[in-house]
Amino acid sequence: MDETWQWDDVRLFLAVGRAGGLAGAARLSGISPPTLGRRMAALETCLGRQLFVRQRDGYVLTAKGNEFLRLAEALELNALAIDRWRTSDAIGSVVKIAAGTWTSAFIARHMGDLVGEDEDIQIELVSGAGIADLLRREANLGLRNHRPEIPGLAGRKLTRVEFAIFGGLAYVEGRVEARDHRRFKACRWIAFSPPGPKTPSGAWIDEHLEHAPNLRCRSGQEVLEAALAGRGLCVLPCFIGDVQSGLVRASDIIQELGHDQWLVSHDQDRTQRHIRRVSDRLRSLAKEHRRLFLGQQARPL
């Protein structure tokens, strides 16, 4: 073959193979199902082997696909070992934190509380719809909306996270209907629609609206910019919306969207000094800002 296979395609093959299809792999990788399908077809062409039988309910590995899966898993372990070796002698200790879009934004805003200016710790945020696999050490710490159930992972509940409807101050002030049930028919809406599976807030909007959202955004920053520009209402976690200058809350807490936030780590890693230090500080941050996460710091309209 003239083409050379790439490690990134092998990594995506592992996601599809383990998930048994494109939808599950999208949740793992944060890459859309159509893109994953094209990448898998390109990998099969490159290798000259059929790796999957494509069925309506998923992707089933062929015999050659199962052989390649075993080779790819061995390659993955070596790649992770190389990555740990690469960072072991680097200046400072790298702590990778896997989190969703909004939680990553909160962590970035409070980075000074996690790492003092004179401390020898580096933080790498692994954000987006796809959350890194802690078992394979793609991240050291994870912030997730459910308790870990996989053996080998430890979890500790940090706080409850609540959601509400927000809009630009001028947009909400100028529309009485934005603050009651009429909003679902009479107002413009902005939906957060990142690559991969639909977000809970996106599903909630689709369920309640009497029309399609006027704008769908692939990134959280796009949602904020559109809302600040008065382009409509959106659903945000309170710890984002209530501190955003120019936005105002237009509803009570949305009970259906609230969830517990869990700090997850690998059993064998959580006692490492630098990981434990960052973990302790994440817990302190959650405690310090508990009222914000619970939606108890809304600004009056």
Instruction: For CA atoms 193, 10, 275, 265, give the dihedral sign.
Output: positive
Average pLDDT over residues 67-92: 73
152/100 same-domain check: yes
Digit-coded pLDDT (tens) for 117-167: 656 788 889 876 455 667 677 788 999 988 887 777 889 999 999 999 999
Question: Do residues 114 and 285 make contact, with C-beta atoms less than 8 angstroms apart?
Answer: yes
Q: Which two tokens stand for residue 44?
A: 């099969």
In a domain, 2, yes or no: no
Identify whether residues 253 and 275 lie together within a single domain: no
Spatial contact of 54 and 46, defined as CB atoms under 8 Å apart: no
Within-domain flag for 60: yes
The answer for residues whose C-beta is within 8 angstroms of residue 82's C-beta and 6 or more apart is none
Please tell me whether residues 185 and 244 are part of one structural domain.
yes
H-assigned helices in 48-189: 63-88, 101-109, 111-114, 169-173, 183-186
- Tell whether 253 and 167 lie within a shared domain: yes
Question: CATH number, domain at 61?
Answer: 1.10.10.10
The answer to whether residue 299 is domain-embedded is no
- pLDDT category, 1, cuts 50, 70, 90? very low
141 and 196 housed in the same domain: no
Say whether both 134 and 199 belong to one domain: no
Residue 134 placed within a domain: yes
Using the 3D structure, point to which of 65, 86, 107 is the last residue of a domain.
86
- Given 66, 86, 106, the domain boundary residue is 86
- Flag the least confident range among 42-46, 74-78, 247-251: 74-78
**Which of the four pLDDT bands, split at 50, 70 and 90, describes residue 185?**
very high
pLDDT for residue 119: 67
Which of 24-28, 141-145, 182-186 is most confident?
182-186
Q: Is residue 276 part of a domain?
A: yes
CATH number at residue 188: 3.40.190.10
- Name the packing angle between helices 7-19 and 33-47 (round to 10°): 120
Buried b (16+ CB within 10 A) or exposed e, 17-45: bebbbbebbbebbbbbbeebbebbeebbe
Q: Give the domain range for residue 128.
A: 90-160+261-291
Average pLDDT of the segment spanning 17-46: 87
The predicted-structure confidence for 244-277, as pLDDT tens digits, reads as follows 999 999 999 999 999 999 999 887 777 788 888 8
Whether 285 and 151 map to the same domain: the answer is yes
Type of residue numbered 11? R
To the nearest 10°, the Cα dihedral for 19, 20, 21, 26? 0
Which residues, in sequence order, are bridge partners of residue 274?
none
Domain assignment of residue 123, yes or no:
yes
Measured between alpha carbons, how far is 82 from 251 in angstroms, rounded to an integer?
49
From 52, 86, 120, the end of a domain falls on 86
Backbone phi, psi, residue 85, to 5°: -65, -40
Long-range contacts, 268-273 (Cβ 8 Å, 24+): 268/152, 269/137, 269/140, 270/154, 272/140, 273/93
Q: Is residue 117 part of a domain?
A: yes
3-state secondary structure of 177: helix
Amino acid at 129: A
Query: Do 124 and 186 fall within a single domain?
Result: no
Count of domains observed in the chain: 3
In a domain, 277, yes or no: yes
183 burial type by CB count under 10 A (0-12 exposed, 13-18 middle, 19+ buried): buried
